[in-house]
Structures are given as structure tokens and as C-alpha cells.
Structure 1
Amino acid sequence: MYKNIILGFSAAFLVACGNPVEVTQPPVNVTHTQSTKKNLQRYQPVTISSRVKEGKNNKLTAAQCQLQADTFRAAFTTPAIVRIPIYGVSSEHLLVTCKIGNRSKTVTREPYNETLANVRSSGSGGGLIGAIVASGIAAGRGNRKGDTWAYQDIQVDFK
């Protein structure tokens, strides 16, 4: 019985989140524009897509894009998966500029502490008290050396 309840919630969650963007091209590697003394931890695949508003609907569409950071950049057509370097707490802010015809849109993205986010969300299963306790732990712990940093996927919306 519990298995069916869990499956039902999982299916509802997946429907609510929408369909993932289908990327047919190989992942795009960034070009490093200058050397850095930052400690490279890994490369994270980040999906970047673009939408155009048509009436009341949003339609996925291809756009020519440039991604820029302090020490790297990339050029690609959306939808794309771009392999972004992760430098822990020193991970860089991203600036993504996309063009469709004569229209241009710029989006910024900051890295976030995934470890800290997981600590905060771990208390949500314990109701209000659990959420309060987890938030207090997260606030007191701050950023630590071994924490995992990441970027969320990027959606560029043309209105």
C-alpha cells in the first residue's frame, strides 16, 4: 500500500515539474580565457534552454548564446548542456546572453552551496519543527571547505 502511495506522489511530482528539455547535441566545453589559481573540483553539466512567449503559451526555441565568467566562456545554440567548472566557494557568477533574430536577453546565475541547501531541506520531512531546526543548523554551519557547490539549470525567456 505504501509503495502505491509513494509511486503516486512520485508520478504527480514528475508531472508537476514538467518535461525535461531534450538536448540532441553533444555537451559544450568551456574555453578558459585566463589561468586561475582556483582549485578546480569538477565540471558540472548545466542545461541551458530558451523559450519564446506565443500568446498564452511558451515555446522552446533555438537561440544563439554566449556564456561568460571571469576565467572562461562558451558559445552554443540552445538547448545545450554546457560543462561548467566548479571551484567550490570560489565558483564564478555566470552571464548568459542569447539572441533570436534582433532580440537579445541576458540572464545571470550564481553558484549555490548544494551541501547547505541539502541540510536546509532535510528538515522539511519533520514538519515545522524539523524545518526550524534544520534552518538553524544550516545558518550556524555556514560555508565549509568540503561543501559541494553547483549551478541550477538556466532558462532564457523571451517575452
Structure 2
Amino acid sequence: MKLRHLFPFAAVAALSACADAQIEQPPIAYNATRALHERGTTTFTFRAFSKESGSRKEISGVPCKLQGQGFNSAFTTPAVVIAPEIGAKAQVASVTCSYNEEAKTKVLEPYNKTVADINANANAAAVNHGLLGALVGSIAAGVQTSRRDPSKDIYAYHSSSVVFADN
């Protein structure tokens, strides 16, 4: 058997080793601790990993707490976490997880998802249609960005993770 016939199998095996753990719990709702005047909700995924001998492995069942100004929740990893969408008033939040008597905190910065989605669509046009796609995509993104109503922009948190060192 030739090596080129083994390559597809090796590639699939390598990619499956990097696959994230399946999220089997429903999305985790937040608790409002004061009036938030939220316009809706957004979600992000949160995961935990251990690192041993340079190798990173996902850990399931790590207890975590999300804390933001006026809201919180508790969950175990991996999880899809629901956060309030309050527009440009979105504040920094944090997730703290504990594993093997070690606590790790990840700061979550809100980002303008509306503008990020517009830019992602322009980048997709560049990838799919080359230089002409990049030019047309960037012009379209600029027009969309300037014509949108910024008061309706959606702010969200990026999916994130924490990494623990195995003892």
C-alpha cells in the first residue's frame, strides 16, 4: 500500500483528536441581580482544558461561575452560556473555574457583533472571489457599516476557555 493512500486516514485521525467535547447540557441561563434593560440575549461557548507535557486535553464537568455587572450564572464545562444583550452599555464580565484546587479566571470583553459580522461577510467575499471580491466586499462592508443604526448594534462575548496545568 502506498503512503498517499494512508494520508486521508491519518488526516481524519489527527483532526478527530482535536475535536471539542460534545456539549450535552442545555444552554445556561443567567440570573439578573438588578434591572438590566436587556434587548435580548446572546450566547457564547466556554470550555476548560488541562495541559500536561505540552499536550492540551479538554476537561468536562469543571464548575464555573459567570459574573457580570447585574447578572451571573453557574455552569459546568463545556457549556453554551446565555448572556444579556444590552447594546453598547455591555460591560466586561468574567468566568472563574475551579479544578484540582486551582482557580482560573478569564475576562470576557464585549465586542460589537454587528460590525464583526459585516466584516466577516466582506472577508468571505474576498476568499471566495479573490482580489475583485476583496474590493467589492470591503466597499459593501463600508457602506453597510456607515448606513446601519449603531443604537441597534448587538454586543456579545467571544467563546472562550481556561487552561489548567495538570499536577
- Give the TM bin, normalised by the shorter chain: 0.7 to 0.9
Corresponding residue to 1:43 among 41, 58, 62: 41
**Counterparts of 1:138 and 1:107 in 2: how far apart (Å)?**
33
In structure 2, the partner of 1:63 is: 62
Cα distance change, pair 102–141 in 1 and its aligned pair in 2 (3 A):
farther
What is the RMSD computed on CA atoms of the aligned residues?
Answer: 2.8
Partner SS, residue 118 of structure 2: helix
Cα distance change, pair 21–137 in 1 and its aligned pair in 2 (3 A):
farther
TM-score (norm 2): 0.70
Give unpaired runs (5+ residues) of structure 2: 1-14
- Equivalent residues of 2:43, 2:156 under 8 A apart: no
Partner SS, residue 152 of structure 2: coil
In structure 1, the partner of 2:52 is: 54
- The aligned amino acid for 1:117 is A
Partner SS, residue 121 of structure 2: helix
Q: Residues 81-96 of structure 1 correspond to what in structure 2 (within 5 A)?
A: 81-96=80-95
Q: Residues 131-146 of structure 1 correspond to what in structure 2 (within 5 A)?
A: 133=139, 144-146=150-152
TM-score (norm 1): 0.73
- The aligned amino acid for 1:31 is N
In structure 1, the partner of 2:28 is: 28
In structure 2, the partner of 1:152 is: 158
In structure 1, the partner of 2:10 is: none
In structure 1, the partner of 2:71 is: 72
- The aligned amino acid for 2:159 is D
- Equivalent residues of 2:29, 2:83 under 8 A apart: yes
Spell out, residue by residue over 1:21-63, the C-alpha distance to the aligned partner (whole angstroms, 9 max, x if none).
4112232211111223x3x222223221100002232111132
Per-residue deviation, 1:120: 2.1
In structure 1, the partner of 2:19 is: 19
**Counterparts of 2:48 and 2:149 in 1: how far apart (Å)?**
32
**Counterparts of 2:93 and 2:39 in 1: how far apart (Å)?**
17
**Counterparts of 1:21 and 1:41 in 2: how far apart (Å)?**
31
**How many residues are matched?**
143
**Counterparts of 1:158 and 1:134 in 2: how far apart (Å)?**
43
Query: % of aligned pairs identical?
Result: 28
**Counterparts of 2:34 and 2:142 in 1: how far apart (Å)?**
39
Partner SS, residue 150 of structure 2: coil
Give the number of the structure whose alpha-carbon radius of gyration is greater.
Answer: 2
